[in-house]
Every structure is written in structure tokens, then in C-alpha cells.
Structure 1
Amino acid sequence: MGMRNPEVTDKERQQLKDYKNTAPHKLVVKKAEALLLLSAGVDPVIVADFVDREPSTLEDWVRDWCTQRMASLFTGHAGNLNRSFLTAEQKEAVEQVLSQPPGDEYLPAQFWDVPKLDRWLSTTFNVEYASPTSYQFLLRMAGLSFHKPEKFDRRRADDKLIDQRIKEIREELAVPLADEDTLVSAADEVRIDQEAVVRRAWYEKNTKTVLQVDRQKASQSFIGFLDQNTGQCLTLRLDWQNSATILEAVQTLVGLYPGKKIVIVWDNATWHKNQLLRAELGLGQSLRDVHLINFPPYAPDHNPIEHVWNDAKNAISNVQRDDFESTVTAFEAHTRSRSFDYKI
């Protein structure tokens, strides 16, 4: 086979690797893989077998590469990505722009979508694509992914103020964390519901399946205390999330660690700051050795125990158990049976 190896610059090699890993279409991936292997001197017969194409097809790909370079990856693609509309300089400009927030006229930082990219390309380069797939590929090329944003409370403070408060909390925890007679825990409540247990199931294509479930609504609340030294999580059931149940849970924590000082870092829920709880913090009371620290308001993403709850929910979500109590037990077992390396 008289095919010559394609010449690939270092920059092109990195771009090909990016396409191989992130391109949403198989043809683009196969072309990128083939060009990388051929440029490295791998036997064309082996490459053809690897990408499941005829050797003659590889000859066409190399020939197209020599004339069109990166644009050749998209030639003949059914979705017609039309990447050749953009010059190399324009493509670099697109990647740079997509790596930044869209700007004040769009959504707050980090959010891009197809209409915004369409508008920007049209006004900047007079380039328009017929298929949304083309815009989606550009977004992926820039390292963006399509996923559900985290919830953002409008009452949340400015991130700089939140970061400053977290810094202050870490400084305040430095001495307690180094004291073996002090327990430092990040705490929070969570609730699981019966109807949120099953999200997806695997079954035969083009068929339907029915799960026999108990439609009676059920839920269970928990409070968790994540030890910031050991990573162990103490999970306690709550009849409800209110002042009385939270006070009882903290008293249970104190009883499990007699003689220890206890520091709890949690959010600003009303039952974390109520008079019933604070009355027990006084000298001679049940929580006299407990010190409470509050996270910044409306910033749950800084509480490490939120990751524990997500881990546990993911672990139980797609397993259909016989009854809700079994689900509750599985949730408890997941949180109690391992250590979690989530820190404030």
C-alpha cells in the first residue's frame, strides 16, 4: 500500500486528540484516530482494521487532510458541521470566546447555549449553520458540557464575600481540627422520598416495562454529621425537621462523644438558630461543650456533607427494593459504611 504518512503539527495533533475524545459524531472520531495513528507511523492495514474502514478510505482521508487540513474531518459528514466556514484564526477566536462567560447581556457567568452562540457567530463572522449540531460541536470543542446547572438562590451573597467567610471559618477551625479532644463536623439535613427512588431501568429496546410499586407516598428525613478529621458520617433519622428534633439529634451526638468538645458547622436554617437550641448551649446545660458555626447564607455548595447526600442518593436511586424501609436502610448503610474525603 503506497500511502504516505500524513504530516501533523504539534498543534494539529492536540486538536486531533481533542476531537478523538470529545467529538459527538463517530466519523469525526474515527478520522481523528486514523490520522493520529498514521502520523505516528502505524501500519495502514492495522489502522484500517482499528477504525473499521477499508484501506482505500484511509487513502481518501489522508489526501483530504493534505488539502483541507482540519476541515477534512467534517467532509462528508451527514450532519454537515461545515467547520470549513471558519478560518483557523476565526476558530481560535471562537475557542477563546467560549472559554469566557457570555457577558452582561447574556446569562450570568459560565452559561452558553446554541442561540447565544448563533447570534455571536452571525454578528462577528457572518457565519450561520443549518444544524444545531454544528453549534453544539463548537461548544464541546471549547471544553463545555451540556448539563443541568446548580440551583442558585437570588439571596445568595457575592462570591467574594462567601469566599472570605469560608476562609474565616477555615481559620477558626484550624485549632479545633488539631485537637484530638475536639470533634469537628459539617452537618446538614436531607430527605428521601419513595417516588424519587427509581429514575431509570435497563430493559429490551423498543419495549415497555412496568414496575409494580407502592404508590403510597413516604419520606424519611435525616441529619448527618461529617467528621472533618476521619471522614466518617453519623446519620440519624428525624421524625421531622424542626427545633425539637434537631436539638435531640445534637444531644445524641454529644452523648456518643462524652468528654469531647464538639464544633458543628452548618447552614442558617431556622432550627439551627432557634431559642430552644441556644438555651442548651449555656453553662451547665446539655450542649455546654458544643460550639456552632454557620456557613454563609444560601451557599450549600460549600457544605461538604452535600456531596455525601449526593453519593448516597446516586447509590440507591436505580435499585427497586421491596419496600421503602429497605431503601431507607440502604441510604443509612451507604453513609455509615465508608469514609468521605469531603472537607470544608
Structure 2
Amino acid sequence: MKKKQEITTWLESERSAIAKGDLVVLFEDECHLLWGDVCGYGWGKTSERLEIPMTNERRKQTYYGVVNLQSQECLIQPYDKGNSQTTIAFLDYLQTHYPKTRIVLLWDGASYHRSQEIQQYLATVNEGLTQEQWRITCIRFAPNAPQQNPIEDIWLQAKRFLREYYQLCTSFNIVKYLFEFVTHQQVFVFPKLFTYGCFS
């Protein structure tokens, strides 16, 4: 609760810059889709070991995503996995998407968000600038508090959509397409987006 209040107070102090478009505030998180989990059961004599040959061709897709505090627009990008290199690639994507705007990322404390590579990247991006001018500023949510991050509700809504329309999900490519269709560049309006105040 204390961290949430700190974030709210900080956002309020930046209200003018947010309203003018000089500063964009983004709630960031990663989401993972899995395909091909093997589930099953079998019957056999309790005195004999039963072996069943199988292959587990499980596939995974990681998405980095943000939701804009002011516009409520969601942006996502697919990557093979979540790590420092893909985090840097996503930060580069955000700078391309918001070329003339300072970016504030509110995110969790994932190890790759705190890595030495990320610290070096941010130092390079912000080199020669005062803290108020930083191109990218990162603020962490409280530990183990996904309820503080509004994009978690977008992931939940997208996965609920996939469950409701499971009959369309005949391949992993279709699953990924549908996930991207219902999230990327979509505008979301739900109460958690206004947890930190109304900035739209």
C-alpha cells in the first residue's frame, strides 16, 4: 500500500507533463502462452511399471506489453523469452513508438528488469541528462503485488477470450494471432487503470 501511495504521489507531481504529452506513463509486464502440454492417465497393474512412449513438443510465446496511463492503449511485442536482451529490444521498440516523449515504465521486480545489462542500457540512454530529463525512467511496483499493475487485467481478459473461443484455437499460430488481435493497439477501460488517478 505504501508503494502504491508513493507512485500515486509521484504521478500527481508529473500531471502537467503527462497532460502536455511530454511524459508517457506505461504499465509494463510480460505474458507467456504455452501450447502442447501433454496431459493424460493410464491404467495398469499396480505390481508392474507401465511405460508410455511420448514426445512433449511444448511451445511457448512470450509477450512484452504496456498499457498507457493516459490513452489506455495497449502495445505488445512477441519475443522468444523474457530476459535482459529481449527487455532491451522492447525498450528500443517503445522509444521508436514514443520518439519525442520521456517514458516512465512502472514494472515488477523481475530479475531481468534489475540486471546489470538493463542498468547499463538505461545509463547509456540517459547519459548526460538530469533525472528530470531522462529518456526512460523505471519505477518498480511493490514486491509480489501483481494487483498493482493494470496490464495484468489485460492479460487475464485476453486469456479468458482464448478460453471462451477455444474451438477456434486449432493451432498455436491461431492462438497467437487471436491473443495479439484482442490486445495490441486496443484501448481498455476498467477500474484498475484509474487506481493511480484519472489522467485521460
Q: TM-score range by the shorter chain?
A: 0.7 to 0.9
SS of equivalent residue, structure 2 residue 143: coil
1:171 aligned residue:
9
2:187 aligned residue:
339
SS of equivalent residue, structure 1 residue 322: coil
* Residue 285 of structure 1: how far off its partner (Å): 5.4
2:80 to 223, 226, 239: 239
SS of equivalent residue, structure 2 residue 160: helix
Higher helix share: 1
Q: Which runs of 5+ in 1 are unaligned?
A: 1-162, 197-214
* Residue 277 of structure 1: how far off its partner (Å): 1.0
* TM-score where L is the length of structure 2: 0.76
After TM superposition, list the pairs within 5 Å mapping 1:118-157 onto structure 2: none
Query: In the comparison of the two structures, how many residue pairs are matched?
Result: 165
What are the superposed Cα offsets for residues 68-97 of structure 1, whole Å, 9 maximum, x if unpaired? xxxxxxxxxxxxxxxxxxxxxxxxxxxxxx
What are the superposed Cα offsets for residues 100-140 of structure 1, whole Å, 9 maximum, x if unpaired? xxxxxxxxxxxxxxxxxxxxxxxxxxxxxxxxxxxxxxxxx
Bigger mean CA deviation after superposition, 231-240 or 171-180: 171-180
SS of equivalent residue, structure 1 residue 187: strand
What are the superposed Cα offsets for residues 272-298 of structure 1, whole Å, 9 maximum, x if unpaired? 111111112225559950000000001
Distance in 2, matches of 1:222 and 1:300, equals: 16
The answer to whether residue 31 in structure 2 is matched with residue 193 in structure 1 is no
SS of equivalent residue, structure 1 residue 301: helix
* Residue 226 of structure 1: how far off its partner (Å): 0.5
Distance in 1, matches of 2:68 and 2:188, equals: 9
SS of equivalent residue, structure 2 residue 174: helix
2:71 aligned residue:
230
The answer to whether residue 97 in structure 2 is matched with residue 256 in structure 1 is yes
Higher gyration radius (CA): 1
Change (3 A) 1:282 1:179: farther
SS of equivalent residue, structure 1 residue 244: helix
SS of equivalent residue, structure 1 residue 282: helix
The answer to whether residue 171 in structure 2 is matched with residue 323 in structure 1 is yes
SS of equivalent residue, structure 1 residue 258: coil
What are the superposed Cα offsets for residues 220-243 of structure 1, whole Å, 9 maximum, x if unpaired? 110111101111100111111111
What are the superposed Cα offsets for residues 156-207 of structure 1, whole Å, 9 maximum, x if unpaired? xxxxxxx1210110111121533412111000001011257xxxxxxxxxxx
Change (3 A) 1:271 1:317: same
Higher strand share: 2
Distance in 1, matches of 2:29 and 2:110, equals: 9
* Residue 337 of structure 1: how far off its partner (Å): 5.0
SS of equivalent residue, structure 1 residue 224: strand
* Residue 340 of structure 1: how far off its partner (Å): 1.3
2:45 aligned residue:
none
Larger RCO: 1 or 2 (CA < 8 Å, sep 6+): 2
SS of equivalent residue, structure 2 residue 123: coil
Distance in 2, matches of 1:195 and 1:216, equals: 6
* TM-score where L is the length of structure 1: 0.45
1:153 aligned residue:
none
1:171 alignment partner AA = T
After TM superposition, list the pairs within 5 Å mapping 1:306-321 onto structure 2: 306-318=152-164, 319-320=166-167, 321=169
SS of equivalent residue, structure 2 residue 26: strand
Distance in 2, matches of 1:219 and 1:173, equals: 35
What are the superposed Cα offsets for residues 248-294 of structure 1, whole Å, 9 maximum, x if unpaired? 11111111111210000000111111111111222555995000000
How large is the RMSD of aligned CA atoms in angstroms?
Answer: 2.2
Q: Which runs of 5+ in 2 are unaligned?
A: 38-55
* Residue 216 of structure 1: how far off its partner (Å): 3.3
1:289 to 116, 135, 141: 135
